[in-house]
Structures are given as C-alpha cells and as structure tokens.
Structure 1
C-alpha cells in the first residue's frame, strides 16, 4: 500500500475516533436499547394496544402495502385457514364492506390469474401490519415527497430575505 493510502486511512480513522468521542453519552442512550449496557438484556418494552379505527390510511411510498386498520389478535392465518380472506375475498367483500384484496394477490409467478388467492400472497401479515398509537423510540425526520415539494414551493414563493413557512 502506498504512503498516501496509509495517510488517508490514518486520517479517516482519526476523524471517526474523534466523532465517536464527541458524541454525548445521553445521545447514545436514546437508541432502541435505551440506557441498557450491551452486555445486559434490556427489559422487554410494553406491548401497546392495537388500533381498531377501521379507517383507510394514506401510504408513505409508492406500492406500500396498506396497513391493517383493525385488530387481528384472534385471527387465524395458517396453511389451512386465513381469517382475513373471510371478509376481504372477492366473493364476500361487498357483504362486509371490506376492501377486496388486489387482483395481484390472485396471480401466480407467470401473471396468470388463479381462482383462489396465490400461495405467495396467502400469509397477509408478511406485508400488512396492524397499527398502534405509540411514542417512537427513536426520533424520525422523514418527509414524504409531497411534503418536500410543498416546502420547496413555499420557499420559492417567499420574498427574498423572508423566512419560508
């Protein structure tokens, strides 16, 4: 390895070491483990009650599977039984007022339509998840694309020297 590469590697290591030292200890305790040391097992977090609002939510990104807006605590989803399909199958969804599962759930790998739900889409909770109102364990500054566009438009309409909303 050339001298230049060793020098760059050494400087990079020093910068990383200084950054690690400069992080306050209380910020390190705000992770998912909380203040529990790495050599100890943290106490399991409280299981929050599942929302049961039956409201359709927006999606955070294109092709996001819809979330489950009701409890599924006693639902059986096994190889022989799928309680979700009792209401969401195309033959019963109107009776229960439930949205029908997407037509893609009735396709095989070659995109041929099947009479029953595809085995690849049978276990609903692989993609769809129930929701709970909880406090996030770690901060999040995520903004979806619509929020970013609105912020940029507001900034471009602001007078020079004026703070955007």
Structure 2
C-alpha cells in the first residue's frame, strides 16, 4: 500500500515537471496523410458505391467472389444473416441471386449438411463488396493465367530448351 502511494506521488511530481508535447508538430504520415497532432481531421470518405460491372473475374481457383452490391447496415451475427434472405437455396431463384455454394453446406469432415455450416456462416470473413477504392499499396499479384503466359514466353526466348 505504501509503495503504491509512493509510486503515485513520484509519477505525479514527474508529470508536473514534464514539458507539454508540441501539438503543432507534423504528425507522422501513414495511411492518413497530413495534419498535426493537435488537429482533428475528418476521415476520408468511404469509397464509392459498388460498381455496376456485373461479376468480377476471379484470379485463382476457390477465390471467394466479391459482393456486387452495398451491404451497409446488413445484420450478420450468430442470430441472423441478412445475406441468406436472397442467397439461400429457397430464396435465390425468386431473388435472381446466386445460391450459396454447396461448399458452404460442408462441415470440417466434408459432410454436406442441410444448412450453412458455422464455419461458412459469416459471409464477410471471405467476401467483400466490390468498390472503386484505390489500393493503399501497390500489388504485384499475377493471376495464374498471367504466370503461365510469362513462363511460356520465357521458355520461348530461351529457345524452348527447358
């Protein structure tokens, strides 16, 4: 008890003698650029609405498709999943939406169940809305078709010896 009181008094006395931080110093620029430590900047706007381009091409096998519509205010929790209002096996035909993949009905042992399994129930773990947002970092990802084309071109340049 006495030690904690002594430490509290020591901390308080040190804080009285510490210099106040310079709130006008330039803030370190990370993903959110500009400003100072004392400024309150408004957050950048949320990226644009989903594009009206139809389905996106997938870059690799088993890539989860993107969501081509806004999901703002969708409830997805252990009690309710709004995505299934349109994408369930019974609702998809009338809604004109793709049905949830059969893989979402398989448990860990690959046994097909009657309902979406818990490990596939929270859609936004894998699926994201497509948007017109600019990437935060440069990506050098190449899909498999591009990798195979580059490899074929490399082999052709080497005279097809490999």
Same fold (TM over 0.5): yes
Calculate the TM-score normalised by the size of structure 1: 0.63
Q: 1:34-61 CA deviation, whole Å, 9 max, x = no partner?
A: 5789xxx997443112315261111122
Partner of 2:113: 114
* Matched residue count: 131
Q: Which protein is bigger by CA-based radius of gyration? A: 2
C-alpha separation between the residues in 2 aligned to 1:63 and 1:76? 25
Q: Is residue 2:89 matched to residue 1:90?
A: yes
> Judging changes above 3 Å, is the alpha-carbon distance between structure 1 residues 116 and 104 closer, same or farther for their aligned structure 2 residues?
same
Residue 123 of structure 1: aligned partner: 122
C-alpha separation in 2, matches of 1:122 and 1:85: 9
Deviates most, 42-51 or 63-72: 42-51
Distance 1:64 1:151 in 2: 22
Name segments (4+ residues, structure 1) moved above 6 Å.
Answer: none
The 2-side partners of 1:149 and 1:133 are apart by 28
Q: Cα gap change, 1:149/1:109 in structure 2, threshold over 3 Å: closer, same or farther?
A: closer
Q: 1:30 to 1:134 in 2, by over 3 A?
A: farther
Cα shift at 1:153: 3.8
Partner of 2:104: 105
Q: Structure 1's 34 and 155: CA in aligned 2 closer, same or farther, altered over 3 A?
A: farther
> What's the offset of the Cα at 1:155?
5.7
